[in-house]
Structure 1
Amino acid sequence: MLSNLKPQAPDSILKLIEEFKADTRQGKIDLGVGVYKDPQGVTPVMRAVKAAEQRIWETQTTKAYTGLAGETDYRDAMARMVLRDVPSDRLASLATVGGTGAIRQALELARLANPGVTVHVSNPTWPNHLSIMKFMGLPFVEYRYFDAETRGVDFDGLKADIAKAGKGDIVLLHGCCHNPTGANLTPEQWAEIAAILEKSGAIPLIDLAYQGFGDGLDADAEATRLIAARLPEVLIAASCSKNFGIYRERTGILFALAENSAARDLAQGSMAFLNRQNYSFPPDHGSRIVSTILTDEALRADWAAELEEVRNTMLGLRAQLASELRDLSGSDRFDFIGQHRGMFSRLGATPEQVQKLKTDAAIYMVGDSRLNIAGLNQHTVPVLARAIIDAGI
């Protein structure tokens, strides 16, 4: 049987990681994988996370199963962090295996509710969005998002395309820190999107993977809150990997905002059913870390302060890189880097130019020229800036 399996195409980012590891050159720079690194190149364990784990170790008395939907404390704490004002009579929630698991379960839920669903997804988007939908056999269409000329959002194209979504279709939106481009929508643009979705009856699925990495913990959730306040049905997939730094704990959550309490109960039961079919009970350690931090005033304050340090470090690197490139190029054509938010920016380089960066300068980034700002430090920024100019970007 197993000999009948077909080889699968390797994940482009995982392949890039292996290439980087095999490169023996000194001074090589990894800007591919989407993981935060401090100036020493380490992905640190946050102070509040260590303190929470210590408390859990000292007080936990059992490793028995949790509920199918995960622990209530975690789901409630995350609802307050993401939505602030929680419409509890309309909100269903589900602990998931990371933000990726939340996306998968959201799409499974959408298909259960509407077997003929089509998903509308930004061009470009996180490649795993497309990979999951293709594997599931879900039909999807792309809507315009990134303007390659300005390196900003093609908002007129976006509006025209998402207006074509039908009633009951899914429109997949990045809540903040768009991956892979770093180009974000303004509050005014989000309000226009809400109006389009209100008119069409399409359902937004918001991928909120980077809350706290852009303009701040609350500011990054404002678009999601606006959509939730305006529309009767909303799906939200959130991740704790980045803002809590617990990547390997695979801690995510799916929210389903329903039109009324009866629909909420149906959604809650269906979501628990989906967990049961997939992995039964969700992992608990990461979610218990998160709930311990979010429900303790001192731990939450320390976590929020360290998260701000992370965010401001990335903003500083953006400003430094934009300044270096302005000086080297004698133009402002790279100023978009300072205007983008989150871990990523898309340079707008060709695959050949990206290859030249790897071959000539040992600088690794994804083939579409997405670079991870958090992979830099103040010493490697000038190296990257010179390499970008030398590559003719």
Structure 2
Amino acid sequence: MFETLTPPPADKIIELMAQFRADPREDKIDLGVGVYKDPEGRTPVMRAVRTAATRVWEAETTKAYVGLAGDAAFNAAMAKLVLGEAHDPARTASVATPGGTGAIRIAAELIRNTAPGATVWMSDPTWPNHPAILKYLDIPQTSYRYFDTTTGEVDFDAMMADLAGVQRGDVVLLHGCCHNPTGANLTADQWLAVADLLGDKGALAWIDIAYQGFGDGLEADAFGTRLLAKQLPEVLIAASCSKNFGVYRERAGVLMALSAKGTDRDVVQGNLNTLNRVNYSFPPDHGARLVSTVLDSDDLRADWAAELEDVRNSMLGLRTQLAEELRRLTNSDCYDFIARHRGMFSRLGLTPEQVATLRKEHGIYMVGDSRINIAGLNAQSVPVLARAIAALDG
């Protein structure tokens, strides 16, 4: 049987990681991997999470299964964090999942089961796992224009022109904040326009929110998600705890399905439970328990929010420093968009050949489309990157 297998396509980011590790240069810079790093290049355990781990360990008396939907306290805490005042328990079914990727997968299967003819619309570009999962599940997909590589901003007119082709029952996948891979976000007015369009079209909004707190703050980053939750009858929300809680390896995520009033919420919940069951039976609990312990403890939540704000401001500072260095070295404002972007990522607009030059001549590693992880920089490496970029046109 196995002799019929063929090698799968290489994962570009995993391949880039291997190249970086094999590079003997001590001054090499890794801007490819999408994890937060502090100025020393570490991905630290957050203070509140470390304290929560101690509390969970001391209080835990069993490792028995929790339930198909995961821990109810975690699901409720995440719904409140993401939705705020838009949270309506009577409309909200939710399941814990193995990270945000697990939430995306369960959401995709729910779409396939309930609306097999629906087309999922995704931004161009988007996180590569979005189209990969949809393709694997044989779900129809298409894209809408999103990013203007010339300006480094959202091409909103093109986006809305493409979304005018959405059909009733189709699904539109949106990044809740800190767009991956571009870092370019919708404004409040643009979110309002998108909400109106989806409502008029009768389309389902599907939101991937993986970086809440990394952009403009916990509340501001949830604006678009909360708006759609209030304005539209049905919404799918896939949320990840990997980044804003730093629990990457614990795989803590949640999928929320908001149904129209009058719909039997318990039927929706039962379908989510069944999808969990046939995929991995019971979702992992440890990371979810750490998150709910933080969110449900006043002292830990305050400390977590403060540290998250430090993380956010650190990335904003790096963005500003890089934009200013590039403006000085190039005598141009063409890279000013970096300071306006939010989250860990920005797409610089470099060609694959320029990206290869940076890697070969300067030991600077980024994804081939010139997406960089801002958190891979520090105050000392920003000038190095800026000089290398400026030299490309020299």
For residues 130 and 304 of structure 1, the distance between their equivalents in structure 2, rounded to whole angstroms, comes to 33
Aligned-residue offset at 1:266: 1.8
Aligned-residue offset at 1:392: 2.5
Matched, 1:200 2:187: no
3-state secondary structure, aligned to 2:142: strand
Match of 1:329 in 2: 330
Match of 1:178 in 2: 179
- Which TM-score applies when normalising by structure 1? 0.99
Aligned-residue offset at 1:261: 5.2
* Percent identity of equivalent pairs: 62
Alignment of 1:289-368 (within 5 A): 289-368=290-369
For residues 205 and 248 of structure 2, the distance between their equivalents in structure 1, rounded to whole angstroms, comes to 26
Deviates more, 1:153-162 or 1:309-318: 153-162
Aligned-residue offset at 1:104: 0.7
CA contact (8 A) 2:116 2:139 kept: no
Aligned letter for 1:322? A
Aligned-residue offset at 1:260: 2.4
CA contact (8 A) 1:353 1:392 kept: no
Match of 2:378 in 1: 377
Deviates more, 1:157-166 or 1:379-388: 157-166
Aligned-residue offset at 1:163: 2.0
Matched, 1:74 2:88: no
3-state secondary structure, aligned to 2:222: helix
Aligned letter for 2:116? P
For residues 329 and 282 of structure 2, the distance between their equivalents in structure 1, rounded to whole angstroms, comes to 54
Alignment of 1:13-92 (within 5 A): 13-85=13-85, 86-92=87-93
Aligned-residue offset at 1:391: 1.9
3-state secondary structure, aligned to 1:262: coil
Aligned letter for 2:43? T
- Which TM-score applies when normalising by structure 2? 0.99
For residues 47 and 226 of structure 2, the distance between their equivalents in structure 1, rounded to whole angstroms, comes to 28
| Segments ≥4 residues shifted beyond 6 Å | none
Aligned letter for 2:56? I
For residues 281 and 171 of structure 2, the distance between their equivalents in structure 1, rounded to whole angstroms, comes to 26
Match of 1:247 in 2: 248
Aligned-residue offset at 1:262: 3.4
For residues 24 and 137 of structure 2, the distance between their equivalents in structure 1, rounded to whole angstroms, comes to 39
For residues 45 and 64 of structure 1, the distance between their equivalents in structure 2, rounded to whole angstroms, comes to 26
For residues 258 and 16 of structure 2, the distance between their equivalents in structure 1, rounded to whole angstroms, comes to 38
3-state secondary structure, aligned to 2:346: strand
For residues 169 and 280 of structure 1, the distance between their equivalents in structure 2, rounded to whole angstroms, comes to 29
CA contact (8 A) 2:152 2:347 kept: yes
Deviates more, 1:186-195 or 1:112-121: 112-121
3-state secondary structure, aligned to 2:383: helix
Corresponding residue pairs, total: 393
Match of 2:264 in 1: 263
For residues 92 and 345 of structure 2, the distance between their equivalents in structure 1, rounded to whole angstroms, comes to 31
Aligned letter for 1:99? G
Aligned-residue offset at 1:4: 1.1
Match of 1:274 in 2: 275
3-state secondary structure, aligned to 1:218: helix
For residues 138 and 190 of structure 1, the distance between their equivalents in structure 2, rounded to whole angstroms, comes to 26
Alignment of 1:117-196 (within 5 A): 117-196=118-197
For residues 5 and 282 of structure 1, the distance between their equivalents in structure 2, rounded to whole angstroms, comes to 30
Unaligned runs of 5+ in 1: none
Matched, 1:389 2:390: yes
Aligned letter for 2:240? S
Aligned letter for 1:4? T
Unaligned runs of 5+ in 2: none
Aligned letter for 2:72? T
CA deviation map 1:310-347 (0-9, x unaligned): 00000000000000001000111110000000000000
